[in-house]
Each structure stands twice: as structure tokens, then as C-alpha cells.
Structure 1
Amino acid sequence: MESTDLFRQIEFIKEVDKLKYIVRKTKLFNSDRNENDAEHSWHLALMAIVLAGHANVPVDLLKVVKMLLIHDIVEIDAGDTFIYDTQKSHDNTAEERAAANRIFGLLPEAQAAELMAVWEEFEAQQTNEAKFARAMDRLEPLLQNTSNNGGTWAEFGVTYEKVYTKKQVIQQGSATIWQYAEQLINESVDRGILER
């Protein structure tokens, strides 16, 4: 490997350290401390390893883990958009695309193209791997909010309908995990930590 490739890879590694400073709205389990994007990505990757047997169909676990570790890198430039934000769309934006081009572009060309393709696959939500990765991304905040007596739902006045609508995507990656998630959502209403 050429030293210029190594230099570019090290620059990328330094740049993505900034993910540790991007603070999310959700809080750690049973905590009042907000999670950062790096913690979130690591946790999702580990969740995928542990829960892969519940995917609707067998998935390429390495690809899923790659998706989960890089899916929020664009937030270094674009910032984290709260999933229930009423002012800004949580969907992929031109801002995120520009961030992906800049950050992945720090890498040698072949690696940049590979990671960009993995990021785009996650965003498109068409493959089994992307669907399972998205299921993990939607499950973790649900678990956090139920552990924190409603967490961001209570803090931002998020209702059952909004939570149910956003979380339904879990079933595309895992019907089994969706059954569990749906039960948690309904129990949250019963517990009074999610408004109907």
C-alpha cells in the first residue's frame, strides 16, 4: 500500500473521531446523559451481531455492521436530525450527500467508493441488509425511551401515533423484533410514558 493511501486513511480516521461530539436527543439507558453518534453506531453494530438470527431472511452481517458503523458519519457536517423533528425532514438531504462526498472522499478512491456505496444502500432501504440495519436503528431509541420513563417522547410531546408510524419500519427487517417493539410501544401507553 502506498504511503499516500495510508495518509488519507489516517486523515479519515481523525475526521470521524468528530462523531463522538455529535450529541443525539436520546439518552443512554436509565440515564439523563445524552448519547453521542459514536456510541449509537457502536451499540447498533453490536445489536446487529446479537440479533441477526431474528432477521426476516439471512443477511450479510459484515455489510450490516458496516452500514451501522458509517450510517451517521454524515452528521459530522449535517448534524443530527431528531426523528420526530417537525421542522426538518429526517430523510436523506442534499446536506447529507455533500457531507458523505466530503468525508468518504478523504479516503483512497476505491475505499471511498465502497463506503459511499454502503451508505447509499442503507439510505435506499431496498436490500435485506439495509432493512435489518434500519430495524436496529429504530429499535435502540425505543429501548432507551422505555428505560427512561418516556425519555424524548415525554420531553418533546411525541405521541403514540408518531412513534408507531416511525417504528413500523422495524418489521421490514425483522417481524419477530417488530412484535417485541410493538408490545413495548403498547406497554408504554399503558404505563403512561407515551401519550395516545
Structure 2
Amino acid sequence: MNGVWICTEDWGDPLHAPSGCRQRAKRKPSVPDALFNPTAAAALLDFFALAERLKTELRHSWLSNDRQESVAEHTWMMALMAVTLAPSLEHPVDLGHVLKLIIVHDLAEVKVGDIPVFEVSDRKNAKMEAELAAISEIQAMLPEESGKLITSLWHEYEAATTVEARFARALDHLEVQVQHNLASIDTWEPIEHDLVYTKMDDRCAYDQGLREMVQAVRGRAERKLTEGGFDIAALRGRHGFVPKEPKDSQIS
């Protein structure tokens, strides 16, 4: 890592110095010149203004106070779930990298908007093409290195070939059901009753910790459906579902 060395005595209070600084020198990252480039700073501010749209872009999910959820709120909960579930995973991940993937995974929606998984429409059919174009536009507006990083992370998430991306994508589906369980059953579409038995498993099947989490989340969904007067046995039968762990799969 580029940077300069800082000795222990550079810290006014050694007790609050970063880990290891009292025993040895620590490398301090250098600050890229681009941060002090007015053009780059302006580009970043324009990007932040664009990204802010995720705070107002609404999803087909409701909160416990009957307010519709924003994309940014979905992303935040995914990040919190990543931090708390990572220690229990069968397949370890680089948590910092997972958080980066989560932060950018829905970034294209600043231009494309959120499209529910069950929607049948022309815009749903064109979703990937539209999101690819959106990410290219976002990259073009950013300083070169930042643009490359955002684009690389977004494509890694979509490809789902790394264990970090697989974990992030599993959380994307898990979080949806967690949030639905917290919202009023009146906000659920009929198709979402069925998604309790289909949406989470494929992305979570590769990891024992995630499979166990799916069972816990599904259990609460079934309790909510039962309390709402819905026939759980019929739903299970429709999907040939037996409440047991999904078949394991291997990390690619």
C-alpha cells in the first residue's frame, strides 16, 4: 500500500493509537491528488446527488409503520445482516468486500428504478440491458478510478462467481422476506405467499449457516400467514415443500 510511515510518538495519546502502533510503526495511506482536484470533487458531488435518489426510490416492500420501503433502506438492512451473519457462515467471506458489493448492487436503479421480482412487463424484460447502460453512464460521470471500482463491484455482484457476491445476493433475497415478515400481511401480494417457498432457497443453498437462517425466516413467514388466515398446508403442497434443509451445493 502506498503511503508514509508514522512512528508511535506521532500519536498524542499512545493508548488511543491504532492497533499495533505502540509496538511498531504503522503505514499511513497517502491521499490521492484527485481528492483535491476541483473537477473530480465536482464529479463526486454530482454522483452523490444522483445516488441520493435511492433514498426516495420505493420498493414493493412496506415497513412496520405502514410506510413503503426505499431502496436505500433495503441496502442498509442487507449491510446489517451481512455484519451479523458473516461469523456464522460455513464459507468465510471478506466482510469489507461484501459490504462494498451490497452498497453498489442496486445503484443502477437511480436511473432504471426498482422493478418487483414478480412483475411481468416490457421493462422487466429489458431490465439487464437498461441497468448495464445505467452503470456505464455512472462510470462515465465519476473520476476514473472510482468509476472503475463501482463498475467492477456491480459486475462482480451480478456474475455471482465469488463467495462474497454469492453471500451478498443471498442477503438480497433474505432481506426481502425479513422485511415482509415485519410488515402487515395486507401489504403482501398473493404471489408473495408462494415466494416464501421459492425465493430464498436457491441463493442460500450453498451454505449451512444461510440454510438455517432460511428456515428461521420461513418459520416466521408461515406464522404470519397462519395468523392472517392462510392455509399453510395448501401452500406447502402446491410447491411440494417439506420443511427441511435444502440440498447442499458447492461454491464455484
TM-score grouping bracket, smaller chain normalisation: 0.7 to 0.9
Gaps of 5+ in 2: 1-32, 236-252
* CA-CA distance at 1:32 after TM superposition: 0.8
Tell me the equivalent position of 1:14: 49
CA distance in 2, matches of 1:104, 1:152: 36
TM-score normalised over the length of structure 2: 0.69
Tell me the equivalent position of 2:30: none
Tell me the equivalent position of 1:106: 141
Structure 2 CA distance for partners of 1:86 and 1:99, relative to 1, 3 Å: same
* CA-CA distance at 1:81 after TM superposition: 0.7
CA RMSD of aligned residues (A): 2.3
Check whether the contact 1:64–1:129 (CA below 8 A) recurs between aligned residues. yes
Tell me the equivalent position of 1:163: 196
Tell me the equivalent position of 1:190: 226
Higher relative contact order (CA 8 A, sep 6+): 1
Check whether the contact 2:185–2:225 (CA below 8 A) recurs between aligned residues. no
* CA-CA distance at 1:96 after TM superposition: 0.6
CA distance in 1, matches of 2:81, 2:205: 16
- Which of 102, 107, 129 is matched with 1:94 structurally? 129
SS at match of 1:164: coil
Check whether the contact 1:52–1:61 (CA below 8 A) recurs between aligned residues. yes
Deviations 1:51-103 (A, max 9, x none): 21122311011111111111111111111011222335489510011111112
Structure 2 CA distance for partners of 1:54 and 1:152, relative to 1, 3 Å: farther
| Larger fraction in helix | 1
Structure 2 CA distance for partners of 1:78 and 1:146, relative to 1, 3 Å: same
1:50 paired with 2:84, answer: yes
Structure 2 CA distance for partners of 1:159 and 1:10, relative to 1, 3 Å: closer
SS at match of 1:93: helix
Identity of aligned residues (%): 31
* CA-CA distance at 1:187 after TM superposition: 3.4
Check whether the contact 2:98–2:165 (CA below 8 A) recurs between aligned residues. yes
Check whether the contact 1:64–1:132 (CA below 8 A) recurs between aligned residues. yes
* CA-CA distance at 1:50 after TM superposition: 1.6
Tell me the equivalent position of 1:77: 111
Gaps of 5+ in 1: none
SS at match of 1:172: coil
Tell me the equivalent position of 2:215: 179
* CA-CA distance at 1:181 after TM superposition: 2.7
Amino acid at match of 1:120: H
Larger radius of gyration: 2
Structure 2 CA distance for partners of 1:124 and 1:179, relative to 1, 3 Å: same
Deviates most, 33-42 or 159-168:
159-168
Amino acid at match of 1:40: H
Structure 2 CA distance for partners of 1:91 and 1:128, relative to 1, 3 Å: farther
Check whether the contact 1:67–1:133 (CA below 8 A) recurs between aligned residues. yes
Amino acid at match of 1:27: W
* CA-CA distance at 1:151 after TM superposition: 5.1
- Which of 46, 62, 76 is matched with 1:27 structurally? 62
